[in-house]
Amino acid sequence: MILLELDKISKNFTDFKAVNQVSFKVNEGSIFGLIGPNGAGKTTTIRMIVNIIMPDSGQIKFLGEEIVPDQIGYLPEVRGLYKKMYVEELLLFMAKLKSMKTKEAKEQIDYWLKKLNISDWRRKKIEELSKGMQQKIQFITTLLHKPKLLILDEPFGGLDPINTNLIKDIILELKESGTTIIFSTHVMESAEKICDDILLINKGVVILCGKLSEVKKNFKKHNVLIAYDGSDDFIKKSTEIEKFNNYGHYVELQLKQGGNAQRILEQAVQDKVVIQKFEIKEPSLNEIFMEAVGTDKNGGGNYE
């Protein structure tokens, strides 16, 4: 079932197209990665979903209707909490804003403080906490009311590797329990590990969208790793190869667009080369990203 649907959403800031005809669908119970370089339009897109800014054109539908704010948990990119409040007091206050009953709110607060290894700090003031801890508290505020949809804008920004992993695990657990999660990131490794679907956006325009596994499969430039014994003529002769790095008995090569790895293998067999290993390596999301975005030297800007 489709939980959220954006249909040709656009947003201009004066004459600048921050988001340009962006469409995508988010399936219920999935993890959706909104990825792209700085300035791509991720935050602007998210702000339109959570109703902070209005799109100039296009439609956003949540279960076919207008967004119901209580069903969304939102972690903004620019974090900010009331610094003078105590951790527990603040969490309770935020829970009340989401119409939670005190008993349930307290149970949830206990649960999440423990889960995020931050229980010892519950009676401290926010300003006494490190940035990372404050971020964890803000993350909790987005979850307390058990939203159907969780939208996290750069959730790993400013976290150390241990806490990044902790948040990543919680995102996966939340998915298991039926929560739909949209998160934005410019760090491909984070997205690669946990996303079911991705949308790659650059300069406000969608470049790639779909199931991560499909995106990888359809990405033309596959790398092939071959361990072999014999002449390397089958590599030199091949018309399938864009470039290669030969180490004598081991070659790493990149196929041409539309190149067929099978033909390389056939040639090797014909040449009586002994193949010890033949691996077609899927491109990493980072490679896809660099290929799609990295070659563009104009930087982030889409003026008309």
> What are the residues binding Mg ion (CB under 5 A)?
42-43, 77
**C-alpha distance from residue 130 to each of 115, 118, 133, 160, 218 (Å):** 18, 11, 5, 12, 43
| Nearest CA-CA partner of 148 in 169, 179, 171 | 179
| 3-class SS shares of the chain: helix, strand, coil, % to 5 | 35, 30, 35
20-59: contacts with ligand ADP (CB under 6 A): 36, 38-44
Q: Does 215 interact with ligand ADP (rule: CB under 6 A)?
A: no
For ligand ADP, give the closer residue by CB, 40 or 118: 40
Interstrand relation of 180-185 and 31-35 (parallel, antiparallel or unpaired) = parallel
Contacts of ligand ADP in 242-281 (CB under 6 A): none
Burial bucket for residue 39 (CB in 10 Å: 0-12, 13-18, 19+): middle
By beta-carbon proximity to ligand ADP, the closer residue of 38 and 177 is 38
Q: Which is nearer to ligand ADP, 186 or 221 (CB)?
A: 186
Q: How far apart are CA 92 and CA 103, in angstroms?
A: 10
CB of 9 to ligand ADP, least distance (A): 12
- Total residues belonging to the chain: 304
Q: Count of residues binding ligand ADP (CB under 6 A)?
A: 11
- List Cα–Cα distances, 195 to 73, 77, 303, in angstroms: 18, 19, 31
**Residue 33 buriedness (CB in 10 A; 0-12 / 13-18 / 19+):** buried
CB of 78 to ligand ADP, least distance (A): 10
CB of residue 93 to Mg ion, shortest distance in Å: 27
82 interacts with, out of Mg ion, ligand ADP, none, CB within 5 to 8 A per kind: none
The residue with tokens 């009340």 is 96
Q: Which is nearer to ligand ADP, 60 or 273 (CB)?
A: 60
Pick 28 or 77: Cβ nearer ligand ADP: 77
Q: How far is the CB of 137 from Mg ion (least distance, A)?
A: 21
- The answer to whether 132 contacts ligand ADP (rule: CB under 6 A) is no
Q: Where along the sequence are the contacts to ligand ADP (CB under 6 A)? A: 13, 18, 36, 38-44, 300
